[in-house]
A and B are shown apart, each in its own frame.
Chain A
Amino acid sequence: MNFYGLVDGSDSSLRNYLKQLPGVDQVGAEARAAMLATRSIKTTSKAWAIDTAISMVDLTTLEGADTPGKVQALCSKAFRPDPTDLTVPRVGAVCVYNDMVGIARQHLDSIGAHELPVAAVSTAFPSGRASMAVKLQDTEDAIVAGAAEIDMVIDRGAFLSGRLIEVFEEIVAIREVCGDRAHLKVILETGELVTLDNVRKASYLAMLAGADFIKTSTGKVAPAATAPVVLVMLEAVRDFYDLTKVRIGVKPAGGIRTTKDAIKQLVLVNETAGPEWLNPSLFRIGASALLNDLLMQRMKMSDGYYASPNYVTID
Chain B
Amino acid sequence: MNFEYAAAPESRSVVKIDPVYGHFINGKWVNGSSHFNSINPATEEVLSQIALGTAADVDAAVKAARNAFDKSWSKLSGRERGKYLYRIARIMQERAREFAVLETLDNGKPIRESRDVDVPLSAAHFFYHAGWADKLEYAGVDTTTAPHGVVGQIIPWNFPLLMLAWKVAPALATGNTVVLKPAETTSLTALLFAQVCQQAGLPDGVVNIVTGDGSTGSAIVNHPGIDKIAFTGSTEVGKLIARALAPTNKSLTLELGGKGANIVFGDAAIDETVEGIVNGIFFNQGHVCCAGSRLILQESIADEVLEKLKRRMDKIRVGDPLDKNTDLGAINSAEQLAKIRELTAAGEAEGAGRWSANCELPTNGFWFAPTIFTGVTQAHRIAREEIFGPVLSVLTFRTPAEAIEKANNTPFGLSAGIWSEKGSNILWATQQLRAGVIWANTFNKFDPASPFGGYKESGWGREGGRHGLSAYLKGSAK
Whether A and B touch (Cβ < 8 Å) is answered with yes
CB of B307 to closest CB in A, whole Å: 9
Check: B112 CB closer than 8 A to any chain A CB: yes
Check: B5 CB closer than 8 A to any chain A CB: yes
Please report the C-alpha to C-alpha distance between residue A298 and residue B112 in the assembled complex, in whole angstroms.
27
Check: B75 CB closer than 8 A to any chain A CB: no
Which segment of B46-54, B85-93, B264-272 sits at the interface? B264-272
CB of B312 to closest CB in A, whole Å: 9
State whether B3 touches A275 (Cβ < 8 A): yes
Q: Given contacts A22-B269, A38-B112, is CB(A270)–CB(B3) below 8 Å? A: yes
| In the complex, chain A residues whose CB is within 8 Å of the CB of B315 | 271
| In the complex, chain B residues whose CB is within 8 Å of the CB of A38 | 112, 116, 324
**Nearest CB to that of A242 among chain B residues?**
B307
Q: B272 touches which one: A25, A48, A279 (CB < 8 A)? A: A25
Please report the C-alpha to C-alpha distance between residue A80 and residue B473 in the assembled complex, in whole angstroms.
72
Check: A23 CB closer than 8 A to any chain B CB: yes
**Nearest CB to that of B308 among chain A residues?**
A239
Q: Given contacts A28-B276, A28-B441, A39-B325, is CB(A23)–CB(B269) below 8 Å? A: yes
| In the complex, chain A residues whose CB is within 8 Å of the CB of B4 | 44-45, 48
| In the complex, chain A residues whose CB is within 8 Å of the CB of B1 | 52, 275, 278-279
Q: Given contacts A38-B116, A41-B8, A271-B315, is CB(A25)–CB(B269) below 8 Å? A: yes
Check: A163 CB closer than 8 A to any chain B CB: no
Q: B270 touches which one: A22, A31, A44, A266 (CB < 8 A)? A: A22
CB of A311 to closest CB in B, whole Å: 25
Q: A22 touches which one: B116, B271, B275 (CB < 8 A)? A: B271
A19-47 contacts to B (CB < 8 Å): 22-25, 27-29, 31-32, 38-46
State whether A27 touches B3 (Cβ < 8 A): no
| In the complex, chain A residues whose CB is within 8 Å of the CB of B3 | 45, 48-49, 52, 266-267, 270, 275, 278
CB of B136 to closest CB in A, whole Å: 33
**Nearest CB to that of A28 among chain B residues?**
B272
CB of A53 to closest CB in B, whole Å: 11
The interface on chain B, measured as residues whose beta carbon lies within 8 A of the other chain's beta carbons, has a size of 25
Name which of B3, B268, B275 has the most chain A CB atoms within 10 A of its CB.
B3
Q: A44 touches which one: B6, B272, B275 (CB < 8 A)? A: B6
Check: B442 CB closer than 8 A to any chain A CB: yes
Check: B421 CB closer than 8 A to any chain A CB: yes
State whether A40 touches B276 (Cβ < 8 A): no
State whether A22 touches B324 (Cβ < 8 A): no
| In the complex, chain A residues whose CB is within 8 Å of the CB of B272 | 24-25, 28-29, 32
**Nearest CB to that of B2 among chain A residues?**
A275
CB of B5 to closest CB in A, whole Å: 5
State whether A39 touches B269 (Cβ < 8 A): no
Please report the C-alpha to C-alpha distance between residue A52 and residue B4 in the assembled complex, in whole angstroms.
13
Q: A42 touches which one: B8, B276, B441 (CB < 8 A)? A: B8
Check: A235 CB closer than 8 A to any chain B CB: yes
| In the complex, chain B residues whose CB is within 8 Å of the CB of A45 | 3-6
Chain A facing B: main interface SS: helix
Q: Given contacts A32-B272, A275-B2, A275-B3, is CB(A23)–CB(B421) below 8 Å? A: yes
**Nearest CB to that of A236 among chain B residues?**
B271
Please report the C-alpha to C-alpha distance between residue A27 and residue B268 in the assembled complex, in whole angstroms.
14
**Nearest CB to that of A31 among chain B residues?**
B275
CB of B211 to closest CB in A, whole Å: 33
State whether B2 touches A29 (Cβ < 8 A): no
State whether B324 touches A32 (Cβ < 8 A): no
**Nearest CB to that of A44 among chain B residues?**
B6
State whether B269 touches A24 (Cβ < 8 A): yes
Taken residue by residue from 31 to 74, chain A's Cβ proximity to chain B (1 for < 8 Å, 0 otherwise) reads as 11000001111111110110010000000000000000000000
Please report the C-alpha to C-alpha distance between residue A25 and residue B442 in the assembled complex, in whole angstroms.
9
Please report the C-alpha to C-alpha distance between residue A134 and residue B40 in the assembled complex, in whole angstroms.
68
State whether A39 touches B5 (Cβ < 8 A): yes
Please report the C-alpha to C-alpha distance between residue A278 and residue B4 in the assembled complex, in whole angstroms.
12
Taken residue by residue from 275 to 287, chain B's Cβ proximity to chain A (1 for < 8 Å, 0 otherwise) reads as 1100000000000
B445-459 contacts to A (CB < 8 Å): none
Please report the C-alpha to C-alpha distance between residue A279 and residue B1 in the assembled complex, in whole angstroms.
8
Please report the C-alpha to C-alpha distance between residue A143 and residue B476 in the assembled complex, in whole angstroms.
84
Please report the C-alpha to C-alpha distance between residue A46 and residue B271 in the assembled complex, in whole angstroms.
28
CB of B94 to closest CB in A, whole Å: 22
| In the complex, chain B residues whose CB is within 8 Å of the CB of A44 | 4, 6
State whether A40 touches B271 (Cβ < 8 A): no
Q: Given contacts A41-B8, A42-B6, is CB(A27)–CB(B271) below 8 Å? A: no
CB of A262 to closest CB in B, whole Å: 13
CB of B302 to closest CB in A, whole Å: 14
| In the complex, chain B residues whose CB is within 8 Å of the CB of A27 | 441-442
**Nearest CB to that of B115 among chain A residues?**
A38
Name which of B116, B272, B442 has the most chain A CB atoms within 10 A of its CB.
B272
State whether A28 touches B275 (Cβ < 8 A): yes
| In the complex, chain A residues whose CB is within 8 Å of the CB of B267 | 22-23
CB of B370 to closest CB in A, whole Å: 15
Taken residue by residue from 314 to 335, chain B's Cβ proximity to chain A (1 for < 8 Å, 0 otherwise) reads as 0100000000110000000000
| In the complex, chain A residues whose CB is within 8 Å of the CB of B441 | 25, 27-28
CB of B196 to closest CB in A, whole Å: 26
**Nearest CB to that of B10 among chain A residues?**
A40
CB of B292 to closest CB in A, whole Å: 14
| In the complex, chain A residues whose CB is within 8 Å of the CB of B5 | 39-41, 45
CB of A44 to closest CB in B, whole Å: 5
Taken residue by residue from 251 to 276, chain A's Cβ proximity to chain B (1 for < 8 Å, 0 otherwise) reads as 00000000000000011001100010
**Nearest CB to that of B8 among chain A residues?**
A40
| In the complex, chain A residues whose CB is within 8 Å of the CB of B116 | 38
Please report the C-alpha to C-alpha distance between residue A266 and residue B3 in the assembled complex, in whole angstroms.
9
| In the complex, chain B residues whose CB is within 8 Å of the CB of A31 | 275, 442
State whether A22 touches B268 (Cβ < 8 A): yes
Taken residue by residue from 287 to 327, chain B's Cβ proximity to chain A (1 for < 8 Å, 0 otherwise) reads as 00000000000000000000000000001000000001100
CB of A272 to closest CB in B, whole Å: 9
CB of B234 to closest CB in A, whole Å: 30
Please report the C-alpha to C-alpha distance between residue A23 and residue B116 in the assembled complex, in whole angstroms.
28
Q: Given contacts A22-B270, A40-B324, A271-B315, is CB(A28)–CB(B442) below 8 Å? A: yes
| In the complex, chain A residues whose CB is within 8 Å of the CB of B6 | 41-46
Please report the C-alpha to C-alpha distance between residue A72 and residue B272 in the assembled complex, in whole angstroms.
45
Taken residue by residue from 328 to 367, chain B's Cβ proximity to chain A (1 for < 8 Å, 0 otherwise) reads as 0000000000000000000000000000000000000000
Q: Can you list 21 contacts pairing A with B, beta carbon distance less than 8 Å? A: A23-B267, A23-B421, A27-B441, A28-B272, A29-B272, A31-B442, A32-B271, A32-B275, A39-B325, A42-B6, A42-B7, A42-B8, A43-B7, A45-B3, A45-B4, A45-B5, A48-B3, A52-B3, A235-B271, A266-B3, A279-B1
The 3 closest A-B pairs by CB, nearest first: A28-B272, A40-B8, A40-B324
Interface positions of B (Cβ within 8 A of A): 1-8, 112, 116, 267-273, 275-276, 315, 324-325, 421, 441-442
